[in-house]
Amino acid sequence: MGHYIVRRIMIAIPVFFGITLLSFLIMNMAPGNPVDMLINPNIPKEMLELKKERLGLNDPLFVQYVKWLGGFLKGDLGYSFSSFAPVSQLIGERIGPTLLLASSSLLVGILIAVPVGVISAIHQNSKLDYIMTGLSFLGTSIPPFFLGLGLIYMTGIELKWLPTGGMKTLGGTGGISDIILHMILPVTVLGVTIAGKKVRYVRASMLDVLQQEYLRTARAKGLSEFIVTNKHALRNALIPIITVVGAEIPLLLGGSIIIEQVFQWPGIGQLTMEAILSRDYPTLMGLNLVAACIVLSTNLITDLLYAAVDPRISYN
């Protein structure tokens, strides 16, 4: 197992730097630059050119990338072009709320999808199966931003049950209970979206396993249906489920950008939008680094979970 992990890490290193290079090139190919955002009739063109020179924007792309890479290898992600704060500080302040929102939403989505998918598979082609499948399609079809705005209007504006935005109440103490109240709406939206997509995968995986011969043998031995379903069938159905859940994590970070905008959640989603609108290259590169690390580590953890779930899989 240890050799496999080391080998995967060695493979991930060139992939990681390849991602940074492609991200840098694509980002700089987009029209506009940070100085263009400062265009004002009262600013002379000479001042704009001087600003570009100081920021290094007049250097060739390869030179700019090498300078950024050299700083990264020294642990320096540079400074934001818009706020002039260290990029590492900006990301450090925002990554916690995003991870809290994403992990909570993923947990809620799994807790909904797995039981619903299992029950739907057990009662295949029944009314209950049709109802649960229909609800899963509904959860997948509703755009997250539309569902979020609807929940804000109903529970926040009309009924005034829950806060409609932010992570803490302005002027409040910001305790755990306050954070949980602010998390309910965004976690509900993301959790419903995740569950809607994953119910069908769980159902299909369980249907495939329920048709295997060894389950008939387990029933013939007198095992209860609960043990047959939850101990034997569900465990063998987990491998494809782990695959789709692992693939959901990077998508979840991308989807959280929209939700963070809707609910004004102070995470990296908001920071990403601010960096895009201001053409803040150092901040965007720092965010791409975070995304690349999450994707590569998630893929490794997913592969390791295969061996934990199925003893037949070994990486020795």
Per-residue pLDDT, 171: 66
pLDDT band for position 40 (cuts 50, 70, 90): low
- Average pLDDT score over residue span 186-210: 85
Is residue 60 domain-resident? no
CATH number at residue 230: 1.10.3720.10
| Residue 296 to residues 8, 19, 138, 203, Cα–Cα distance (Å) | 9, 11, 31, 28
Burial class (CB in 10 A: 0-12, 13-18, 19+), 179: middle
- Average pLDDT score over residue span 165-175: 72
Query: Contact 167/179 with Cβ under 8 angstroms?
Result: yes
Is residue 27 domain-resident? no
DSSP 154: I
Is residue 96 domain-resident? yes
User: How many domains does the structure of the chain reveal?
Assistant: 1
Query: Does position 173 have pLDDT exceeding 70, yes or no?
Result: no
Is residue 185 domain-resident? yes
pTM score: 0.81
pLDDT per residue as tens digits for the range 106-137: 889 889 988 888 888 888 888 888 888 888 88
Which residues form the domain of 229? 87-309
pLDDT over 90, % of the chain: 0
Higher pLDDT, 245 or 22: 22
Q: How many CB atoms lie within 10 A of CB 302?
A: 17
Is residue 51 domain-resident? no
pLDDT band for position 316 (cuts 50, 70, 90): low
- Sign, CA dihedral 173-178-180-184, equals negative
- Average pLDDT score over residue span 156-174: 76
Is residue 149 domain-resident? yes
Is residue 155 domain-resident? yes
Is residue 43 domain-resident? no
